[in-house]
Structure 1
Amino acid sequence: MKPENLAYIAGFIDGEGSIGLSRVKRKANRSGIKYQIAFNASNTKREVLAWISDVTGCGTIQQLKQSPAALKGSPYAHKTIYRISFSAADSRVVLPLIYPHLILKKRQAELVMEYLEIVIPRGRQQTYGESQDMFRFDQIWNELRNLNRRGKHQGDLALENRS
């Protein structure tokens, strides 16, 4: 893959994407909690998402259903929105490739890659290790939640001071 393509994809993810973990209560698990990779990007131009999928060989593109109430008065109210989502297996491929080029979401990528190093892939499922792994997953999830919340963050100040 060309470095300039990876840099473009990283910039696109920095601006339009999300890198994180979702946490779901699951009675079937020993801990009662299941974590899932939440790595995606949305755009009104399906072509750019298809290009990302072609370049990386990863990702699933879907058309999102829009809530008219949520979009009332929005300039995007009449545009179709698409999302490319990366599975855990896709994330194992894509994140290390774009990581050197990420700026805003570099820490999120580090945390998700750490999570992926701990979990054991088993087909479509993931197996968690020891209880200390679950403790670390909680820490990772909390840090990602803080990094991904809306509004100004402490890290934003460091970026502003760079210019």
Structure 2
Amino acid sequence: MGLSINSVPTIDSWIISYSVMLQSTTFILNSFKGVSMTNTEKAYIAGIIDGEGNIMLTRFHKNQYHSPYVSIASTDLELLEWVKNTVKSDKITTKKNYNEEKHKNSYTYTIIYDEAIQLLQDIEPYLIIKKKKSRAQHIISKYKEVTIRNGRYNGTQKLAKEQFYLDFLAL
């Protein structure tokens, strides 16, 4: 039942259209927060990170504090494409190969900021390597606690943020 040009929308039609709008907005927000991976996929990605990956805090801009960064380096582009498609986030870069006769092309999958934290939350139970597991746990448990959303830290907050980074490096 559609509306004619001369009719005035009723409260019921407004509620229905608003409800549809909210449902599509919810879908967009949920897809941004991450995807639902199977336990097998989580464990497999954790194994790849244990073997070929890196869990770090790094600066992306000069005046910025260190932020979560997870990367996987490999010569197998198909593997990295699978990880990217499974996680549904971030990018793969190609490293310059200066001697193609002796070396294969190399690629790096990277995931940063909140998406990196979400990935770490998903795979942390499956990580085996102690250093990587403890780094993941440290980021998951403390990063949001010491990170101010607007980036304006007072003296105490700044010390806490710097101590968090030093504790991370000591792991």
TM-score, scaled to structure 2: 0.65
Please name the residue that 1:102 is paired with: 127
* Pairwise CA distance, 1:53: 1.1
Q: For 1:34, what is the secondary structure of its paired residue? A: coil
Please name the residue that 1:19 is paired with: 55
Structure 1 unaligned segments of length 5 or more: list them: 69-75, 148-163
Alignment check: 8 A CA contact 2:147 2:161 kept = no
Q: Residues 94 and 117 from structure 1, CA distance in 2 versus in 1: closer, same or farther, beyond 3 angstroms?
A: farther
Query: In the alignment, is residue 49 of structure 1 matched against residue 80 of structure 2?
Result: yes
**Aligned counterpart for 1:58 among listed residues 86, 89, 97:** 89
For residues 134-149 of structure 1, the aligned pairs below 5 Å read: 134-147=158-171
Greater fraction of residues in helix: 2
Mapped partners of 1:59, 1:41: distance in 2: 12
Ranked by relative contact order (alpha carbons within 8 Å, sequence separation 6 or more), the top structure is 1
For residues 76-91 of structure 1, the aligned pairs below 5 Å read: 77-91=102-116
Aligned residues: 132
Mapped partners of 1:16, 1:109: distance in 2: 15
Mapped partners of 1:39, 1:13: distance in 2: 8
C-alpha distance after superposition, 1:103-149 (max 9, x if no partner):
2111111222221343245xxxx6254433322322232233333xx
Q: Residues 24 and 58 from structure 1, CA distance in 2 versus in 1: closer, same or farther, beyond 3 angstroms?
A: closer
Mapped partners of 1:7, 1:14: distance in 2: 10
Q: Residues 59 and 25 from structure 1, CA distance in 2 versus in 1: closer, same or farther, beyond 3 angstroms?
A: closer
Mapped partners of 1:77, 1:130: distance in 2: 52
Q: Residues 101 and 78 from structure 1, CA distance in 2 versus in 1: closer, same or farther, beyond 3 angstroms?
A: same
Taking every aligned residue pair, what percent have the same amino acid on both sides? 28
Please name the residue that 2:70 is paired with: 39
Q: Residues 67 and 145 from structure 1, CA distance in 2 versus in 1: closer, same or farther, beyond 3 angstroms?
A: farther
Query: In the alignment, is residue 9 of structure 1 matched against residue 45 of structure 2?
Result: yes
C-alpha distance after superposition, 1:3-43 (max 9, x if no partner):
011001011111111111125884xx5xxx62232321100
Mapped partners of 2:161, 2:69: distance in 1: 14
Greater fraction of residues in strand: 1
Alignment check: 8 A CA contact 1:118 1:128 kept = no
TM-score, scaled to structure 1: 0.68
Alignment check: 8 A CA contact 1:92 1:116 kept = no
